Chain A
Amino acid sequence: MEIIETIINGFSLGGTYAMIALGYTMVYGIAKMLNFAHGDIIMVGGYTLYVTLAGMGNPIMGLILAVLVCTLLGVTVEKVAYKPLRGASPLAVLITAIGVSYLLQSLAQIIFTSAPRMVYVGGQDGLGYVTIGDLKIQTHIIITLVCSVVIMVVLSLFVKYTKTGRAMIAVSEDKGAAQLMGINVNMIITITFAIGSALAAFAGFFMLMKSPSLTNTLGAMPGIKAFTAAVIGGIGSIPGAMLGGLFIGMIETVAQVVPGMGAYTIAIEFLVLIIVLLVRPTGILGKKRREKV
């Protein structure tokens, strides 16, 4: 029974990581930049949730507002900080993203101080348990699992079957050619940031359901881990991000259960990353490209 619970927990945590990893991977695929500030969007979503809960006490309303605020923030950051640098060295963009990350973290600390805030999505007692036969699983795990699966399916269908989704694929393949075909590349990049940030808001919601403590560095470590997940899966690849997210979630959950391994979770995850990259330099589902000489 414990094994099944662990697996379900792993999938659930993996779902959260996949949500964040999707943001990284989509932005990378389309804008060809590493959005280091992505993790901090989660944190902003968390504080939005906190404020809404304090004001209205309705977690669903909180989630909706968090999604809106994050989307708006993601788009604004893109317009203000990244758009002027389009065409500049990717390193310059990366450093700017790091700057934005620091900026968001310090702004949050100025507004909410460094003391942790408690965000009880399901009230003080938590969301309780669901029992299926002999299995006793926390409700938030089920919610996370179901929501993330639904979101991933919707996102896949969106990218595959809508006009905007196909335009996104076109832009990620070849920006110049896409532009010549009449695709509004700027618009597609904005939409990508919007979607990525909205997913980050969901991830923040899931994370706070799991553990209610909220600080301004909420998104930092999960951000790095999700980035790792995106790279393991093959950055730029949407199924890759999902796979990588599940992979990292599973490793983390298993490492926590095995005696003596818990403390080494970070080391194990990053070791796996290095090994995967050495075996497959573009990640599990990444595309190989070769430059013309």
Chain B
Amino acid sequence: MKTRKNVKPTHYINYVVITVAAIVLGILSLVGALPASYQIILENIAIAITLAVSLSMVVGFLGELSLGHAGFMCVGAYLGGKVVYVLSPSIGEIPALLLGFVVGGILAAICGIIIGLPALRLRGDYLAIVTLAFGEIVWSLFMNSSEESFGGALGMPTVRIDKDYLFIIALVVVLICLAVTQNLIRSKHGRAITSIRDNEIAAKATGINVTKYKLAVFAISAFFAGVAGVLLASSNYTVQSQKFNYNYSIEILVMVVLGGMGNINGSIIAAALITFLDIKLQTVLTGELAVMQDLVYALILIVIVIYNNAPGLKAFREKYNFKNLLAKVIKDKNDPSHARDDEAKWDRVPTKIQMDEVLSVDVQVKSPYTPDKAEKGDN
């Protein structure tokens, strides 16, 4: 019997893939063999992955719905971007960028804690709407800032860091974000966090410090959103506050959801694919045709979510799913010890995402073995 089952190759494959990609593409870029358009795509993919992974901490592992992730990013982009802009003439671009990451990340994390505080009192859809409100407040404040401070409606000028290596820095950021997220989730603290998602009442009764973990997750998640914001600012010549409205938050949420709740690799793939397609399709579909992309995107989203979640399609899903098909090709190694226990199945999560449960903690899980006893007279 192996003693350290938590060391699984699948847990580390994402580091390997991203590191190899960073090295290979980095060399190509420094040799001059990587076209600028690909450098830009890579920058955007790295930003999207950072955002998706950090959001998946809140949505996938803590189980709270956040619709304001772009708001944290906005804080990072403006405040961290400002630091880079002000300091880079005197201390050079790279030190300024690193300092920008720290400042943008920390300020976003502080906002995360401020938004995490209502998370202790509110839950479900109500919390979602507070995060949405936060996001809208942030960008509208920057929008109305004076021209000297943050550029107001015109946007704030930023330092465009050299394309040749910004994407390498961005991929390193992705690696750090991944390491922090995965190490945290795959530790006793991660178990505590997922226990809050699975059953908050039971978590409290088991002595888990719910306050501490909620705030920590919000802070860490916001920190990386802030860092992603600084990256975005550095990959453009200006930042526009309108970009960070709720549509952007939802785009990030979609990546997390399509990747699978609590499935980090899934979120990474979804983020990379969506960003890649977005940019590629933009060059193909120009002008009024550009909207075709949104149309297809919306349809795919609806179909996938219905396919994955409709109770009526359960039998069909179990018969023809990717894992089973794969298992037929590759010899099945899925003995229970490989159970992906940090991944959540939607139909098993007693989602807190329901508004009338505001003061309560979770909804009864109806599995065949737990008869619903809520109506039993003994309270």
Q: Is there contact, CB below 8 Å, between B65 and A267?
A: no
Q: Which of A110, A227, A274 has the most CB of B within 10 A?
A: A274
Bound together, the chains give a CA A105 to CA B290 distance in angstroms of: 13
Q: B250 contacts the other chain (Cβ, under 8 Å)?
A: yes
Q: Is there contact, CB below 8 Å, between A293 and B201?
A: yes
Q: Is there contact, CB below 8 Å, between A292 and B374?
A: yes
Q: Is there contact, CB below 8 Å, between A84 and B118?
A: no
Beyond A91-B257, A103-B302, is A290–B295 a contact (Cβ under 8 Å)? no
Looking at chain B's contact residues, the main secondary structure is helix
Bound together, the chains give a CA A262 to CA B166 distance in angstroms of: 39
Beyond A89-B349, A89-B353, A91-B257, is A102–B310 a contact (Cβ under 8 Å)? no
Q: Is there contact, CB below 8 Å, between B346 and A91?
A: yes
State which residues 123-176 of B face A: CB under 8 Å: 125-126, 129-130, 132-134, 136-137, 140-141, 143-144
Q: How far is the CB of A79 from chain B (nearest CB, A)?
A: 12
Q: Is there contact, CB below 8 Å, between B358 and A273?
A: no
Q: Is there contact, CB below 8 Å, between B254 and A95?
A: yes
Q: A163 contacts the other chain (Cβ, under 8 Å)?
A: no
Q: Is there contact, CB below 8 Å, between B356 and A86?
A: no
Q: A165 contacts the other chain (Cβ, under 8 Å)?
A: no
Residue from A88, A114, A273 within 8 A of B129 (CB atoms): A273
- Kindly specify which of A43-51, A64-72, A135-143, A276-284 makes contact with the partner chain: A276-284
Bound together, the chains give a CA A120 to CA B257 distance in angstroms of: 42
State which residues 118-151 of A face B: CB under 8 Å: none
Q: B298 contacts the other chain (Cβ, under 8 Å)?
A: yes
Q: How far is the CB of A163 from chain B (nearest CB, A)?
A: 24
Residue from B133, B294, B354, B362 within 8 A of A273 (CB atoms): B133
Q: B323 contacts the other chain (Cβ, under 8 Å)?
A: no
Bound together, the chains give a CA A105 to CA B254 distance in angstroms of: 17
Q: A94 contacts the other chain (Cβ, under 8 Å)?
A: yes
Bound together, the chains give a CA A128 to CA B311 distance in angstroms of: 54
Q: Is there contact, CB below 8 Å, between B346 and A89?
A: yes
Q: Is there contact, CB below 8 Å, between A281 and B136?
A: no
Q: Is there contact, CB below 8 Å, between B129 and A89?
A: no
Residue from A89, A98, A105, A274 within 8 A of B250 (CB atoms): A98
Output the nearest chain A residue to B379 by Cβ-Cβ distance.
A292
State which residues 106-125 of B face A: CB under 8 Å: 118, 121-122, 125
Beyond A85-B306, A110-B291, A267-B141, is A98–B301 a contact (Cβ under 8 Å)? yes
Q: Is there contact, CB below 8 Å, between A96 and B311?
A: no
Q: B37 contacts the other chain (Cβ, under 8 Å)?
A: no
Q: Is there contact, CB below 8 Å, between B295 and A106?
A: yes
Taking residues whose C-beta sits less than 8 angstroms from the other chain, chain B's interface range is 35 or more
Q: Is there contact, CB below 8 Å, between B355 and A235?
A: yes
A290 proximity list for chain B (CB < 8 A): 359-360
Q: Is there contact, CB below 8 Å, between A99 and B295?
A: no
Q: Is there contact, CB below 8 Å, between A98 and B295?
A: no
Beyond A103-B295, A228-B133, is A92–B121 a contact (Cβ under 8 Å)? no
Residues of A in contact, count (CB < 8 Å): 55
Q: Is there contact, CB below 8 Å, between B129 and A84?
A: no
Q: Is there contact, CB below 8 Å, between A282 and B358?
A: yes
Q: Is there contact, CB below 8 Å, between A85 and B346?
A: no
Q: Is there contact, CB below 8 Å, between A95 and B121?
A: no
A278 proximity list for chain B (CB < 8 A): 118, 121-122
State which residues 270-297 of B face A: CB under 8 Å: 288, 291-292, 294-295, 297
Q: A32 contacts the other chain (Cβ, under 8 Å)?
A: yes
Q: Is there contact, CB below 8 Å, between A102 and B298?
A: yes
Q: How far is the CB of B304 from chain A (nearest CB, A)?
A: 9
Q: Is there contact, CB below 8 Å, between B298 and A109?
A: no
A85 proximity list for chain B (CB < 8 A): 305-306, 309-311
Q: Is there contact, CB below 8 Å, between A99 and B305?
A: yes
Output the nearest chain B residue to A109 by Cβ-Cβ distance.
B291
A109 proximity list for chain B (CB < 8 A): 288, 291, 294
Beyond A106-B291, A106-B298, A231-B129, is A95–B355 a contact (Cβ under 8 Å)? no
Q: B313 contacts the other chain (Cβ, under 8 Å)?
A: yes
Q: Is there contact, CB below 8 Å, between B132 and A224?
A: yes
Output the nearest chain B residue to A82 by Cβ-Cβ distance.
B306
Q: A90 contacts the other chain (Cβ, under 8 Å)?
A: yes
Q: Is there contact, CB below 8 Å, between B130 and A277?
A: yes
State which residues 250-290 of A face B: CB under 8 Å: 263-264, 266-267, 270-271, 273-274, 277-278, 281-282, 286-290
Contacts A/B (CB < 8 Å), 13 sampled: A84-B310, A89-B353, A90-B125, A91-B346, A98-B301, A103-B295, A106-B298, A109-B288, A263-B140, A263-B143, A274-B130, A282-B359, A286-B358
User: Can you add 12 more A-B contacts, CB < 8 Å, to A99-B302, A270-B136, A281-B122?
Assistant: A89-B346, A92-B305, A98-B301, A113-B288, A224-B136, A228-B129, A264-B141, A273-B133, A277-B126, A278-B122, A289-B357, A290-B360
Q: Which 3 interchain pairs have the tightest Cβ spacing?
A: A291-B360, A270-B133, A102-B298
